[in-house]
């Protein structure tokens, strides 16, 4: 159960193991499924304090199997792993210090035909492995024991070998029927001890031993796999690992698998009824050592499923299974017996193929010809999309699971106006690659080339990406390529499995992908080895992953998770602090490898965003600077590259909200490649910190919300890329440690565990936050600031300076010139996060007419040091000229210019009658007059590179002023 049922849970590696071994008894010792039983657990074998249990609140978590030890199902009253149902609470018996529960299996498990039951005991919140060992019991006084071979095993034999089957049963004589590949090969009508030798076996055999006593039949399944020897044959040219479709013949496809140190491989699938004959033994290419097989006779448009049977007999490492059945590591669509039932019931993936009955673990989907799962016709907005400048980026980080009620890409499509009206120009999706379970952040990835099905189909995600591009919004994917999780073939094909349950509890030294032990201090899952030369399979896997998402999904960037993990230099050597120190020092292998991966991306798209979550300190900060400057200048294509880095500023911005001393200077850097953020998926919400930590806003939500606009000015207007975590723009105030049941459990809460990864409530929609005046003001103010940032050169190329001399009243100055100019060239922000009015000395750089950029009102300045009162929790943004935004009808004009930047032509999203283009100094350089549809293309090929102002009059005589970057 631990490795099957618990795979539905979130990333367990963030917690520590607290499993205990309990002693128990069952009364009666043998029982039928319709008979009442009592389970009793010895209290002296349980340390309740270790689990933080009070009041003897222990619970049973239970599951069951059918008569053939298949079709595992949870007890319907289990509840959630983090919140057990009270119906499953054990009764504590203080007189003898025991816990007990009584039930009838058919009623408790809500099924009949039960062959085996499983259970464990746990704390109400089992996170952190607050549980006992798994316990399994046979059901029925009639029981069958398969003594040879092991049940559900696969035995490898040389062709022509003999095979012995032995079994016995309780309750007297029984009838035995042995079948192989569906045909009866031996019977014994009456015995309690069965034995048979199947001689001269030359082909793979799937056996079933059916044992009947009275009206009850129990079936035991097992198999024989024949070693076909090495079938040496040259692989056709141009084949890559995984599925290779034949573009000229949809009846064929070629499969390729690279599994060093394995002896032979079969392909089992729906095309051979999951019983592969010798014809499905893969050939081995003598040049590369790769296994390959061409499938033929396929029907175009039919969804087939398959697995590899990866076999090893020669020098098999200790505790490593001789046979591993696995989906293709390069799968682009996998079916899961664990996750798919919920996906099908929710209807979020229309026409999802059915998982093949009788198989185990994931299978790969193969479909030749036109493919409804993948196909999408991209619009010109995507094929011609020009990415926003790195300096102008305002990225909106989104976890699809927590964005809207249905947790789908369709939700994002339906909310496109929310993104548009906020004016952000990039959306970053947390990992959408196939992950374990259906409720996850996505970093527990198992198939990096496959889209997880919980949020919808490939075509639906592509529709969302296309829609974003149509609205000038870039799309960035978060990706975790420093590790894999337990269902991954990269781990399982070379695993150690000491308990023989089919799941890894380690890997062998032969594993070409995975380290046996993590080589850095922040490892989760199974650490990948990116330096296994000369045949670097991990590097090839990364390359294929990059190509898959860039080419097939037309995305605009990757955010690389946990880049400190891309090193082989920092193993654990007995000291956690030493390992962490090493991980945070400069590591040359890591610097070079991640440059190499950046080059892979830029080779496909030289404008691609490459973003690292490195969070450098000490030597690893120097790595960030080196990456930020990498290929920033000097490339032959003239495109400034450089790798962007996450820059966490959560505590500083929370301190500003609280009215405490706050140094915000780290939000930007001279490299122009640091993405500053106050919030992310991994950091506490600043409003929650303001409400619960020491400061003026403690317990005062209205005050905290009132200061968010000022915080936005001190964040969004600073030159350089910025990021918002979803709904920070509405003042989201629930903790990131909020649990499914609404409680807040932090990592320090030993009683209940850490709920950081739990699905979060969505009050922004349920409570109509857009209708809340205080929250809508944050959204509107931030939208206006984001538009300033995108349109005005001063926020892209300006110099900036901070003044933190007065606590709670930071000042920000941004300028391209300190002298009067025709364009907006000097902006400064005054803030007042205190409880008294701030009579600020303005400090205008020069006198004349200035403007409050937030409402466009002018102010005549005759004294540069005039006093300006700033209300409690208020702020001001002053500029020497009106912002372009203030010269538009901001609320009612919805005109978009794209692509922008433009290399020679652009479109305008509405019908127009006049389009005038001005230089940044105000000179009219080109004009279009007439009746132009929204499909008209405006040519600016003769204009020099640089910034231009475009004044548009649409067919309804509404005016808008837009910014155009000519490349």
- What are the tens digits of pLDDT across the range 580-600? 999 999 999 999 999 999 999
Where residue 797 sits, what CATH number does that domain have?
Answer: 2.60.40.1180
Q: Looking at the domain assignment, is residue 295 inside a domain?
A: no
Distance of CA 234 to the CA centre of its chain: 38
Containing structural domain, residue 154: 144-227
Q: Do residues 571 and 447 share a domain?
A: yes
pLDDT digits (tens, 9 = 90+) for 66-118: 987 778 899 999 998 888 999 999 999 999 999 999 999 999 999 999 999 99
Range 775-782 average pLDDT: 98
Q: How confident is the model at residue 500 (pLDDT cuts 50, 70, 90)?
A: confident
Whether the per-residue pLDDT at 472 is higher than 60: the answer is: yes
| Mean pLDDT, residues 352-361 taken together | 94
Bridge pairing between strands 79-80 and 83-84: antiparallel
Q: Are residues 591 and 735 in the same domain?
A: yes
Same domain for 808 and 680: no
883 and 930 housed in the same domain:
no
Domain termination residue (choose one: 827, 860, 887)? 887
- Domain-located, residue 931: yes
pLDDT at 786 over 50: yes
Do 744 and 815 sit in the same domain of this protein? no
pLDDT at 485: 95
Q: How far apart are CA 908 and CA 938, in angstroms?
A: 8
pLDDT of residue 9: 33
Q: What local confidence, expressed as pLDDT, does residue 70 receive?
A: 79
* Count of structural domains, the chain: 5
Are 767 and 819 in a shared domain?
Answer: no
Distance, CA of 826 to CA of 717 (rounded, Å): 12
The predicted structure's pLDDT at residue 374 = 77
Residues 877, 902 within the same domain: no
Q: Is residue 329 part of a domain?
A: no
The whole-chain average pLDDT of the chain stands at 93
Q: pLDDT at residue 627 above 80? A: yes
Is 177 inside any structural domain? yes
- pLDDT range class, residue 5, cuts 50, 70, 90: very low
The pLDDT score that the predictor gives to residue 732 is: 98
Q: Are residues 48 and 192 both part of a single domain?
A: no
- pLDDT for the residue numbered 15: 36
Could you tell me the two tokens for 536?
Answer: 């670097």
For residue 307, being part of any structural domain is answered with: no
602 and 683 assigned to the same domain: yes
pLDDT for 372: 63
CB 705, CB 774: distance < 8 Å: yes
Quick: pLDDT tens for 421-432: 999 999 999 999
Contact 257, 241 (CB under 8 A): yes
For 810-854, how does the pLDDT look when each residue is reduced to its tens digit (9 = 90+)? 999 999 999 999 899 999 999 999 999 999 999 999 999 999 999
Tokens of 193: 């001890």
Least confident of 325-334, 848-857, 951-960: 951-960
Least confident of 129-138, 162-171, 246-255: 129-138
Q: Summarize the confidence of residues 953-964 as an average pLDDT.
A: 80
Q: Are 827 and 697 part of one and the same domain? A: no
Same domain, 734 and 589: yes
Is the pTM higher than 0.95?
no
**What is the reported pLDDT for 753?**
62
Per-residue pLDDT tens for 715-750? 999 999 999 999 999 999 999 999 888 889 887 775
pLDDT at 891: 39
In sequence order, what DSSP letters do the residues of 448-464 get, joined into one string? EEEE-GGG--HHHHHHH
CATH code assigned at 153: 2.60.40.10
Is 497 inside any structural domain? yes
CATH number at residue 905: 2.60.40.1930
Q: Given a cut of 60, is residue 6 above it in pLDDT?
A: no
One-letter-per-residue 3-state SS of 50-94: HHCCCCCCEEEEEEEEECCCCCCEECCCCEECCEECHHHECEEEC
| Helices within 150-304 (DSSP H only) | none
Domain boundary among 227, 247, 282: 227
Report pLDDT digits (tens) over 375-418: 899 999 999 999 999 999 999 999 999 999 999 999 999 999 99
Angle at 306 between CA 303 and CA 311, to 5 degrees: 170
Q: Is residue 445 situated within a structural domain?
A: yes
Assign 244 to helix, strand or coil: strand
Residue 916 inside a domain? The answer is: yes
Domain boundary among 761, 786, 811: 786
From the list 510, 503, 413, 505, the residue with the least C-alpha distance to 461 is 413
| Statement to judge: residues 186 and 205 lie in one domain | yes
Residue 962: pLDDT band (50, 70, 90) is confident
- On the question of pLDDT at 8 being above 80, the answer is no
């Amino acid at each position: 159960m631990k490795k099957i049922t618990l795979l539905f849970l979130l990333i367990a590696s963030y917690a520590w193991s607290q499993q205990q071994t309990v002693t128990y008894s069952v009364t009666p010792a043998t029982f039928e499924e319709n008979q009442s039983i009592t389970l009793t657990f010895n209290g002296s074998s349980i340390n309740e304090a270790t689990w933080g249990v009070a009041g003897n609140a222990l619970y049973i978590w239970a599951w069951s199997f059918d008569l053939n030890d298949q079709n595992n199902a949870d007890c319907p009253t289990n509840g959630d792993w983090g919140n057990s149902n009270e119906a499953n609470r054990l009764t504590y018996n203080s007189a003898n210090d025991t816990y007990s529960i009584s039930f009838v299996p058919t009623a408790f498990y809500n099924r009949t035909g039960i062959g085996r039951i499983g259970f464990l005991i746990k704390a109400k919140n089992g996170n952190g492995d607050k549980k006992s060992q798994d316990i399994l019991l046979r059901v029925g006084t009639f029981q069958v024991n398969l003594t040879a071979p092991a049940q559900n095993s696969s035995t490898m034999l040389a062709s022509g070998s003999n095979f012995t089957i032995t079994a016995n049963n309780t309750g007297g004589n029984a009838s035995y029927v042995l079948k192989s590949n569906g045909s009866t090969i031996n019977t014994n009508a009456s015995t309690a001890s069965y034995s048979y030798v199947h001689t001269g076996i030359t082909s793979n055999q799937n056996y079933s031993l059916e044992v009947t006593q009275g009206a009850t039949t129990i079936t035991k399944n097992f198999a024989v796999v024949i070693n076909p020897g090495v079938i040496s044959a040259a692989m056709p040219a141009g084949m890559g690992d995984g599925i290779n479709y034949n573009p000229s013949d949809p009846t064929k496809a070629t499969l390729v698998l690279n599994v060093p140190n394995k002896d032979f491989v079969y392909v089992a699938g729906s095309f051979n009824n999951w019983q592969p004959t010798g014809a499905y033994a893969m050939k081995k290419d003598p040049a590369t050592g790769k296994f390959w097989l061409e499938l033929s006779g396929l029907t175009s448009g039919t969804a087939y499923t398959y697995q590899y049977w990866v076999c090893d007999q020669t020098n098999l490492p200790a505790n490593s299974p001789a046979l591993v059945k696995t989906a293709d590591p390069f799968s682009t669509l996998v079916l899961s017996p664990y996750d798919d039932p919920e996906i099908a019931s929710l209807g979020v993936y229309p026409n999802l193929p059915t998982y093949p009955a009788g198989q185990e673990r994931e299978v790969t989907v193969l479909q030749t010809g036109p493919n409804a799962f993948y196909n999408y016709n991209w619009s010109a907005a995507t094929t011609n999309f020009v990415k926003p400048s790195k300096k102008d980026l305002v990225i909106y980080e989104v976890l699809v699971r927590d964005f809207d009620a249905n947790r789908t890409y369709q939700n994002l499509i339906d909310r496109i106006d929310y993104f548009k009206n906020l004016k952000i120009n990039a959306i970053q999706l947390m990992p959408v690659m196939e992950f374990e379970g259906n409720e996850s952040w996505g970093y527990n990835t198992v198939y990096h080339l496959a889209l997880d099905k919980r949020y919808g189909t490939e075509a639906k995600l592509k529709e969302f990406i296309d829609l974003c591009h149509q609205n000038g919004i870039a799309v960035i994917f978060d990706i975790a390529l420093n590790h894999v999780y337990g269902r991954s073939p990269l781990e399982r094909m070379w695993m150690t499995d000491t308990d023989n349950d089919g799941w890894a509890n380690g890997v062998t030294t032969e594993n070409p992908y995975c380290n046996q032990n993590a080589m850095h201090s922040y490892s989760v899952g199974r650490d990948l080895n990116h330096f296994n030369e000369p045949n670097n399979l991990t590097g090839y896997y990364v390359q294929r992953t990059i190509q898959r998402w860039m080419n097939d999904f037309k995305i605009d960037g990757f955010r690389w998770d946990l880049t400190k993990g891309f090193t082989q230099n920092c193993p654990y050597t007995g000291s956690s602090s030493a390992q962490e120190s090493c991980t945070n020092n400069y590591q040359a292998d890591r610097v070079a490898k991640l440059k190499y991966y950046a080059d892979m991306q830029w080779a496909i798209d030289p404008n691609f965003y490459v973003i690292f979550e490195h969070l450098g300190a000490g030597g690893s900060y120097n790595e960030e600077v080196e990456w930020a400057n990498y290929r920033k200048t000097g490339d032959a294509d003239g495109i400034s590259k450089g790798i962007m880095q996450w820059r966490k500023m959560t505590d500083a911005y929370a301190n500003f909200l609280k009215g405490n001393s706050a140094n915000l200077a780290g939000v930007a850097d001279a490299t122009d490649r640091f993405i500053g953020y106050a919030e992310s998926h991994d950091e506490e919400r600043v409003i929650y910190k303001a409400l619960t930590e020491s400061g003026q806003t403690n317990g005062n939500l209205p005050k905290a919300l009132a200061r968010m606009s000022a915080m936005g000015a001190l964040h969004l207007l600073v030159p350089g890329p910025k990021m918002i975590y979803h709904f920070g723009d509405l003042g989201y105030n629930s903790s990131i440690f909020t649990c499914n049941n609404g409680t807040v459990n932090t990592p320090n809460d030993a009683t209940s565990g850490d709920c950081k990864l739990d699905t979060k409530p969505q009050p922004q929609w349920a409570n109509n936050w857009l209708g809340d005046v205080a929250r809508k003001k944050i959204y509107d103010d931030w939208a206006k600031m984001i538009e300033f940032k995108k349109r005005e050169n001063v926020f892209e190329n300006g110099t900036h300076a901070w003044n933190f001399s007065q606590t709670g009243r930071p000042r920000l100055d941004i300028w391209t010139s300190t002298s009067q100019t025709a364009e907006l060239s000097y902006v400064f922000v005054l803030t007042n996060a205190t409880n008294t009015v701030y009579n600020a000395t303005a400090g205008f750089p020069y006198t004349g007419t200035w403007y409050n950029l937030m409402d466009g009102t002018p102010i005549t300045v005759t004294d540069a040091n005039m006093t300006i009162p700033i209300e409690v929790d208020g702020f001001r943004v002053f500029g020497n000229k009106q912002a372009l935004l203030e010269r538009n009808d901001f609320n009612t004009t919805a005109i978009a210019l794209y692509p922008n930047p433009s290399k020679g032509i652009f479109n305008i999203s509405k019908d127009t009658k006049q389009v005038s283009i001005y230089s940044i100094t105000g000179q009219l350089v080109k004009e279009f007059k007439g009746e132009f549809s929204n499909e008209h293309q405006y040519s600016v090929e003769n204009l020099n590179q640089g910034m231009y102002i475009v004044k548009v009059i649409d067919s309804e005589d509404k005016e808008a002023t837009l910014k155009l970057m000519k490349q």
